[in-house]
Amino acid sequence: MSAIPYTALPSGTKIPTFGLGTWRMGEDARRRLAEVAALRHGIERGVTLIDTAEMYGNGEAERIVAEAVGKRRAEMFIVSKVLPENAGRRDTVAACERSLKRLKTDRIDLYLLHWRGDVPLEETIAAFVGLCEAGKIVDWGVSNFDISDMGELWKTPDGNTAATNQVLYNLTRRGIEFDLMPWCRQRKIPVMAYSPIEQGRLLGHAALREVAARHRATPAQVALAWLMRHDDVIVIPKATTLAHVDENVAALDLLLTHDDFAALDNAFPPPKKPVPLAML
């Protein structure tokens, strides 16, 4: 396995560009042991970034992360998110405390607003800044913000200290390449790509399978390697079996060629005009 590369957040904090996602974990108690085992296996394989949220499994995913991490917290980079209805100044602090308790940790490395809600941005940002000053979180950012949202965020006091924007990005969801990604790149804000294989829906595409066959790889590995061509994109695939974890991790060793990228661009064309931000 190739070493997992890192990128830098605007604060200078280093973050791995490959991690483990946890969306839909904690929703079925019968799958809990397998979910813990998958995360633990990923950690044993050297994956130290885990992305979760208070919404996932109504907090149960955070408890699963805590169980999987165990005594290895010091080497981990944990990302969690606050729901927009909990994003008021006091409510954000309270939500963070609940997440810290479920995660069994004294800090969250990166804390995100899950998506834009009705609470004024200045309230949420003020809470994030206060949590940073208190040592409860290290960095903060947003999720599912389009370019208009990011522009408003940047004009809000302390909004220009946001560390990342986590968005839906994969071969079939390339809209951010037209404007949002260049905007973030200009400000040295890494993008976090969730649902990198579109919940598995793109894996049957003929072009993806052809590229995979040339490399004796799987379509999922090609989709992940395609995203990891960017050194400022953080990819967080979810896996709930040991074999799936191994498959995803193996994408780190896959080097796509110029012809591969051309074939994928032909099959999944990049945007030529603004595209509304997609969410699952």
Residues annotated as part of the active site: 56
97 touches 91 (CB < 8 A): no
Give the SS3 label for residue 183. Answer: helix
One-character DSSP codes across 57-106:
GGGHHHHHHHHHHGGGGGG-EEEEEE-GGG-SHHHHHHHHHHHHHHHT-S
- Tell how far CA 254 is from the center of its chain: 20
220 touches 171 (CB < 8 A): no
Give CA–CA dist 195/204, Å, rounded.
16
